[in-house]
Amino acid sequence: MIVLNSRESYARHRVADKSNRMATADRLRSSTDRLPGVDRQTMIVPRELPGPESVAGHYEELDAFYRDIWGEHVHHGFWRTGKESVEQAVLNLSAYVAEIACIKPGQTVCDIGSGYGATARMLAAHYAAQVTALTVTPRQHQYAVSIEPGSTNPVYLLRDWQYNGLASGAFDAAIAIESTDHMADKQRALREMARVLKPGGRVALCVWLARDAPRRWEEQYLLEPICREGRLFGMATESEYRDLLEAVGLKVHLFADLSRHVQRTWSICTHRVLRALWRRPDYRHYLRNPRNQNRLFAWTMIRIRLAYATGAMRYGVFAASRG
């Protein structure tokens, strides 16, 4: 059984997180500072740094739109052949993550940043894994619980991964599909993955990456705004992520650049949003209302399409294991 720390301890960590984020922001913005375990600081950092509250707020505010436009899987589609439907493409990515994490029946799996729980449910149903799924977004958590009221597999938790309160050495595998990009302290997040894994346990990560040495205009008009508007704390390069993983004792076995196979996601999303704007007053009302803090994300989708097209942004998948 997975043992949780006290709620009081978890709450104290959450209160401390804001000051920790501000200190981290100062370090990242200093050209003379480096992240621990990273030899060269080139990470793209947004001008306005998000925290768990603003990340959760992004997904809370856009909750209905995400599910309407894309469905239960809040991640890219993976077109292996190019002929798959969107529904199959998003399942392809979840299945690929399960494959490289070597998930087997009866194993314990932690789904970090689980969204609406769709991947967690797939792992429980089709891989016979015992899954614990975490999200910081209340509406996502409520939706997941509503799909399977009283479910003990998956177990759905509403909490910040960086202060997760899970027992050390509890899991055979941990997966994080596009969630570590939203975390203020990537090294802490990865260290927590290593901590909760059993010796030899596997990690599978899907991450948004910047190319090495992006051009100034790519950083100014594409990558930095994508981070800021998408509530990403930063966008690292492949080598920076490798260094971070190795620094916490996770040995990298595989890296795959899936950019060419996933970028269609944003063409489809853009088309669906434009169609909805034409047909549905509620979409137009949302974009016109200045009180909606995340309405700029409609433009962010276009930035992401351009970032993939220019090669400024990459989609990377890592598999690693705890020694």
Confidence of residue 52 (pLDDT cuts 50, 70, 90): low
* Percent helix, strand and coil across the chain, each to the nearest 5: 50, 15, 35
The CA distance from 3 to 269, in Å, is: 40
The answer to whether residue 19 scores a pLDDT higher than 70 is no
For helices 52-61 and 138-147, what crossing angle results, to 10°?
A: 60
Residues 162/20, Cβ–Cβ less than 8 Å: no
The answer to whether residue 285 scores a pLDDT higher than 80 is yes
Q: In sequence order, what DSSP letters do the residues of 239-288 get, joined into one string?
A: HHHHHHHHHTTEEEEEEEE-HHHHTHHHHHHHHHHHHHHHH-HHHHHHHH
The CA distance from 79 to 265, in Å, is: 9
Q: Of 10, 244, 201, which Cα lies nearest the Cα of 109?
A: 201
The answer to whether residue 204 scores a pLDDT higher than 80 is yes
The two beta strands, 108-112 and 130-135, are parallel
Beta strands of the chain (E only): which ranges? 108-112, 130-135, 155-158, 171-177, 197-210, 250-257, 313-322
The answer to whether residue 33 scores a pLDDT higher than 90 is no
Mean residue pLDDT across the chain = 87
The CA distance from 244 to 199, in Å, is: 19
pLDDT, tens digit (0-9, with 9 covering 90-100), for 81-93: 999 999 999 999 9
Task: Work out the percent of the chain whose per-residue pLDDT is above 90.
Answer: 72
Residues 166/132, Cβ–Cβ less than 8 Å: yes
pLDDT value of position 51: 63
Q: What are phi and psi of 253, to 5 degrees?
A: -105, -25
What lies within 8 Å, CB to CB, of 140 at 6+ separation is 59, 63, 74, 114, 115, 116, 117
Confidence of residue 303 (pLDDT cuts 50, 70, 90): very high
pLDDT value of position 235: 95
Mean pLDDT of 227-245: 95
3-state secondary structure of 292: coil
Q: Of 315, 314, 312, which Cα lies nearest the Cα of 217?
A: 312
The CA distance from 115 to 266, in Å, is: 19
The answer to whether residue 64 scores a pLDDT higher than 70 is yes
Give the range among 188-197, 286-295, 312-321 with minimum mean pLDDT: 286-295
Q: Which fold has domain 46-322?
A: Rossmann fold (3.40.50)
Half-sphere exposure of 64 (CA within 13 A, CB side): 5
pLDDT value of position 12: 42
Mean pLDDT of 22-36: 42
pLDDT, tens digit (0-9, with 9 covering 90-100), for 150-167: 889 999 999 999 999 999
- Out of 136-150, 255-269, 279-293, give the one with best mean pLDDT: 255-269
Task: Work out the percent of the chain whose per-residue pLDDT is above 70.
Answer: 86
pLDDT value of position 259: 98
Mean pLDDT of 296-310: 93
The CA distance from 155 to 117, in Å, is: 10
The answer to whether residue 174 scores a pLDDT higher than 50 is yes
The answer to whether residue 5 scores a pLDDT higher than 60 is no
The answer to whether residue 96 scores a pLDDT higher than 60 is yes
The answer to whether residue 233 scores a pLDDT higher than 70 is yes
pLDDT value of position 28: 44
Distance of CA 264 to the CA centre of its chain: 18
The answer to whether residue 38 scores a pLDDT higher than 70 is no
